[in-house]
Structure 1
Amino acid sequence: MSSCEMSADQICFLTATEQRSLLKARRISARELLDLHLDRVKRVNPSCNAVVALDEEGARRQAGAADEKIARGEMTGPLHGLPMTIKDSFAVTGMAATCGLEELRDYRPDEDAVAVAKIRAAGAVTFGKTNLPAGAADHQSCNTLFGLTRNPWHGERTVGGSSGGSAAALAAGLTALELGSDIGGSIRVPAHFCGVYGHKPSHGLVSTEGHIPPPPGHVAPVELGVAGPLARSAFDLELLFDVVLGTSDVDGAELRLPPPRHDDLSSFRIAVWNDGQAYPLDDAYAAAIESLVDDLARLGLKVDRQARPPIDPASSYDVYLQTLFGIIGSGLPPQAREALVAAGEAAESGSYPRRIAAAVGQSLSQHFGATEARHQLYRAWRQFFADHDVLLCPVTPTVAFPHDIERLDLAAQFTRRLNVNGGTIPYMDNLAWPGLVTVANLPATAIPTGRRVGGLPAGVQVVGPYLGDRTTLRFAQLVEQALGSFARPPGI
């Protein structure tokens, strides 16, 4: 079907790779493609509030320059002419970078984040910013600056966080690609909740310089934290991943990652961790993952449902929480930090407030103890991936849950509850499945299972060995080819 035979909305829902093909063949101009997306944002965004800032004038200049180069037969990079939004935790010149924080309402960076600069150099037309929780610190995307982002699949459900606006914008056909970030599942959770694809890279492969948090001006890489792509196709994930690969000190072309372990689906040795014994898991969501695994087995893949890495899941989670909230605590103002520690010390032993207070107030020797424990985890996972190519596991305990935004402060996350199998669990148990991967610096590609739970999409993490990003991405691509791809939310 040619572009003239497609409606504007059909074009907006094409993958980035397909949109780029139209541009390259001159069946649509960059200006026309941008205008289609801007028009769709104006029509559809009010229902989901995913895109919270626009730079239409700047974007039209970028699109015009892209068209001039196309007319000369030049395509400056793999993203040439593609319209993109960027999560509002990244510095993008021409727009504010608020991270959903009142104190950054008027902060306008004078240079792009390193990953954003790479995206621009690759020819993308950056036209807007997407919503997130304040400080990128929740699995719901709501803040006092821009309000609540609603899930395109069901307006009363969360889009996840912190890259929630990113995933919602993709699911609603508002952008061709998105750049997100992840330290607590912030790419994988929104991808799962919104039925799109997301890739959390191995730690250290993509620069987070110019990302908030930490506060503007900080350049040191953050432990655990990564930046990575979200898209409507696993092929698009790798397209953007290749663009942003590399830090401010090491160019992506110099980072030679191992090739995929296999190039045909049936050769993959997959392990499946899909039960609620270690971390909470809703039965209906587990059944959706199991159904995908059954399909893979029928395609001839070697499936091991009993294999587990040689780690203690509870200890791994403890180390993750200690490391994560040590990082978060170091960025808190002294008064807020002291108040959090004091409140936690008065809480019940083993509770989240107590555990997080201990992490925030940990000594240097305790920090180094956690560092040693993480290195032990690295070795255990390396041993596991000697015998398995990828691990499939849940992203969170449930699919997208109802909004719970009566309070938006960190302490509210200590009291919220999630419904699982007829009972409730602590809200912060949402960190367990993502943390299993993050604490060991592993890559994970979130893909749709193609199943629905209560009408909501269900995703799964494809986890690989450290620096095995090409393996998880290729597996995701092959599954997409064999079993189907992104499904458009009904009514959008």
Structure 2
Amino acid sequence: MDEQTAVAPAKAGAAGSEAPDSHHGRTTPASAGVTAVRSALQTAAAIRSGETTALAECDAAIARIEAGDGEINAVVVRDFDRARDAARAIDAGPKDATSVLLGVPMTVKESFDVAGLVSCWGFAEHADFVATEDAVQVTRLKQAGAVILGKTNVPVALADLQTNNPVYGRTRNPIDPHRVPGGSSGGAAAALAAGFVAVEIGSDIGGSIRLPAAFCGVWGHKPTYNALNAFGHNFPRTQSCGVALNVAGPLARDPDDLEALFGVMGGDALARPAPRGAGEWRILLLPEHPLAPSQASIQEAIAAVGAAFRAEGAQVDDASALLPDLVAQHGAYIHMLLVAMARGAPMDGGQPLPLPDWFTLVDAQAKSRRDWARLFGAYDAVIAPAWGTTAYHHDDTPLATRIAMIDGVDTQAALQMAYPGLATFPMLPATSVRIGTDPDGLPIGVQVIADYNRDFTAIAVARAAHALMRS
């Protein structure tokens, strides 16, 4: 097939051979090149010093994708010839110290426009739509020196927490191909977990960065709403103004890369916290939402990370009267989410939302922001599940009727939307970080939520949590 054409989906198969997981002392299935991939910052430094070249790194990443992606099906739009041309141009030019991603090969979520590549969001009727200009974030990546290899898979309309569509097929979790990588940035997280690339960009309206990062054991950050420009992340064949609640954000294999990529995307405009030790943070634990159960292993991991912070001298609370009304917040969030995702179109047989009702939702959102701001007067971060389960088996049942098995009990999967809504509705930043492994060998990822525009605080607390759970 042409390198700019979708890769055909492969059959799910065995999990593969076992290799040590250096982060947590467990074993996870090996993927081609996982141990060979450098971090993005290491790659840029090595190219700058002459230790390697942009073309060599580009070719190595392409080789990893070609060797390992047949079963995973993460990189579904490939642009290898132009990537090699871009890498050669970097090698021929000056090695600018300000180019943070100098020569770094990477992929981007399919929903971001890249000039000359398909951008169809998984819709069969838009499979022939080719973007004519780069999204703002793709432009930023290229200006920072990144080499774009292609694009990664998404569910139709970015509207599911797994990744399957009629254009590109199904993406599988590299840790266990029988399980989902999450969605809608599922291809992005799978490409990272497989070791194909070191960094990726995604988008998040209902956990679409945080959930795939958690399911695949990588880093992801949902920024404060409107902190980053998302122009060029538009519904196919439109110049849409974007969707309420939706944000663009970084994913990475490494926390230094996550922070650097967030800066490249525009995050450097936000304030950074003063350096602190693990014992200087004030943390509230929220292991379970009042409307949505979470599996015991996730609750135990959150308790363990809380104990580790306490042992360092941090203030760690298990409850607070300052916590907003999470039940009311969830109801308003789901209402706003459905309206935003449908761009105001009525549900089947229903009526469009009257404008006064939309403003009622906006008022509820403003109240939620104020309530969370009061809480963050007493705490630096809240640690909660990104989802109530670890990566689950592929299930194409519509989310509204899908069943989640949690510790042997059938529950409504749709209720799990309460977890991503914790940060999405009040427009807060949240960093997804791995803090453990469940009894099935799957990553346990949680979200670290911080105050409005305190994105670097969320990343810093997530770093501390990760370090404590590795020690």
TM-score (norm 2): 0.89
Match status 1:141 vs 2:179: no
Give the 5 Å matches for 1:10-89. 12-69=36-93, 72-75=94-97, 77-89=99-111
Comparing 103-112 with 194-203, greater Cα deviation is found at 103-112
CA displacement, residues 97-143 of structure 1 (integer Å, 9 cap, x when unaligned): 11111121111111001111111111100011101101100001000
Q: 1:326 maps to what in 2? A: 339
CA contact (8 A) 1:273 1:392 kept: yes
Structure 2 residue aligned with 1:167, among 189, 192, 204? 189
Match status 1:390 vs 2:381: yes
CA displacement, residues 302-337 of structure 1 (integer Å, 9 cap, x when unaligned): 2111125442111100110111111122265xxxx4
Task: Specify the SS of the correspondent of 1:160.
Answer: coil
Match status 1:223 vs 2:209: no
Q: How far 1:218 sits from its partner (Å)?
A: 2.3
Structure 1 residue aligned with 2:125, among 91, 97, 103? 103
Aligned partners of 1:434 and 1:393: how far apart in 2? Answer: 9
Structure 2 residue aligned with 1:417, among 396, 403, 406? 403
CA displacement, residues 204-228 of structure 1 (integer Å, 9 cap, x when unaligned): 0111111133x44325242110000
Task: Specify the SS of the correspondent of 2:134.
Answer: coil
Comparing 189-198 with 236-245, greater Cα deviation is found at 236-245
Unaligned runs of 5+ in 1: 1-7, 246-251, 343-356, 486-492
The residue type equivalent to 1:341 in the other structure is: D
Aligned partners of 2:248 and 2:242: how far apart in 1? Answer: 11
Q: 1:381 maps to what in 2? A: 372
CA displacement, residues 435-464 of structure 1 (integer Å, 9 cap, x when unaligned): 111000000000001333421101010000
Q: 2:211 maps to what in 1? A: 189
Task: Specify the SS of the correspondent of 1:414.
Answer: coil
Q: 2:352 maps to what in 1? A: 361
Identical aligned pairs, as a percentage? 36
Q: How far 1:96 sits from its partner (Å)?
A: 0.9
CA contact (8 A) 1:86 1:129 kept: yes
Q: How far 1:426 sits from its partner (Å)?
A: 1.6
Match status 1:313 vs 2:326: yes
Unaligned runs of 5+ in 2: 1-31
Q: How far 1:341 sits from its partner (Å)?
A: 3.1
Q: 1:126 maps to what in 2? A: 148
Q: 1:437 maps to what in 2? A: 423
Aligned partners of 1:177 and 1:456: how far apart in 2? Answer: 21
Give the 5 Å matches for 1:443-454. 443-454=429-440
Task: Specify the SS of the correspondent of 1:210.
Answer: coil
Query: Over the residues paired in the alignment, what is the CA RMSD in angstroms?
Result: 1.9
CA contact (8 A) 2:234 2:242 kept: no
CA contact (8 A) 1:12 1:176 kept: no
Q: How far 1:27 sits from its partner (Å)?
A: 1.1
Match status 1:464 vs 2:424: no
Aligned partners of 1:92 and 1:453: how far apart in 2? Answer: 40
CA contact (8 A) 2:305 2:468 kept: no
The 3 A distance-change label for structure 1 pair 125 and 171 is same
Aligned partners of 1:331 and 1:244: how far apart in 2? Answer: 29
CA contact (8 A) 1:262 1:268 kept: no
Q: How far 1:14 sits from its partner (Å)?
A: 2.5
Aligned partners of 1:261 and 1:383: how far apart in 2? Answer: 21
The residue type equivalent to 2:79 in the other structure is: D
Of Structure 1 and Structure 2, which has the larger fraction of its residues in helix? 1
CA displacement, residues 354-382 of structure 1 (integer Å, 9 cap, x when unaligned): xxx6xx73211111001111101110000
CA contact (8 A) 1:12 1:37 kept: no
The residue type equivalent to 1:185 in the other structure is: G
Task: Specify the SS of the correspondent of 2:148.
Answer: strand
Match status 1:237 vs 2:228: no
Aligned partners of 1:14 and 1:450: how far apart in 2? Answer: 23
Aligned partners of 2:242 and 2:154: how far apart in 1? Answer: 21
CA contact (8 A) 1:77 1:121 kept: yes
Number of aligned residue pairs: give it: 440
CA contact (8 A) 1:261 1:471 kept: no
Q: 1:271 maps to what in 2? A: 284
Q: How far 1:280 sits from its partner (Å)?
A: 1.9
The 3 A distance-change label for structure 1 pair 277 and 324 is closer
Q: How far 1:76 sits from its partner (Å)?
A: 5.5
CA contact (8 A) 1:151 1:159 kept: yes
The residue type equivalent to 1:477 in the other structure is: R
CA contact (8 A) 1:258 1:468 kept: yes
Task: Specify the SS of the correspondent of 2:338.
Answer: helix
Q: How far 1:86 sits from its partner (Å)?
A: 0.4
The 3 A distance-change label for structure 1 pair 101 and 37 is same
CA contact (8 A) 2:283 2:382 kept: yes
Aligned partners of 1:174 and 1:188: how far apart in 2? Answer: 19
Task: Specify the SS of the correspondent of 2:70.
Answer: helix
CA displacement, residues 230-261 of structure 1 (integer Å, 9 cap, x when unaligned): 0011211111111111xxxxxx66x3x22215
Task: Specify the SS of the correspondent of 1:323.
Answer: helix
Match status 1:341 vs 2:348: yes
Aligned partners of 1:461 and 1:186: how far apart in 2? Answer: 12
Aligned partners of 1:322 and 1:82: how far apart in 2? Answer: 40
The residue type equivalent to 1:472 in the other structure is: A
Q: 1:94 maps to what in 2? A: 116
CA displacement, residues 252-296 of structure 1 (integer Å, 9 cap, x when unaligned): 66x3x2221543221111110113534221122211222222222
Q: 1:349 maps to what in 2? A: none
The 3 A distance-change label for structure 1 pair 482 and 287 is closer
Q: 2:28 maps to what in 1? A: none
The 3 A distance-change label for structure 1 pair 261 and 99 is same
The 3 A distance-change label for structure 1 pair 297 and 451 is farther
Task: Specify the SS of the correspondent of 2:399.
Answer: helix
The residue type equivalent to 1:131 in the other structure is: N
Structure 1 residue aligned with 2:175, among 131, 153, 167? 153
CA contact (8 A) 2:214 2:446 kept: yes
The residue type equivalent to 1:285 in the other structure is: I
Aligned partners of 1:11 and 1:74: how far apart in 2? Answer: 28
Task: Specify the SS of the correspondent of 1:241.
Answer: helix
Aligned partners of 2:437 and 2:309: how far apart in 1? Answer: 14
Q: 2:27 maps to what in 1? A: none
TM-score (norm 1): 0.86
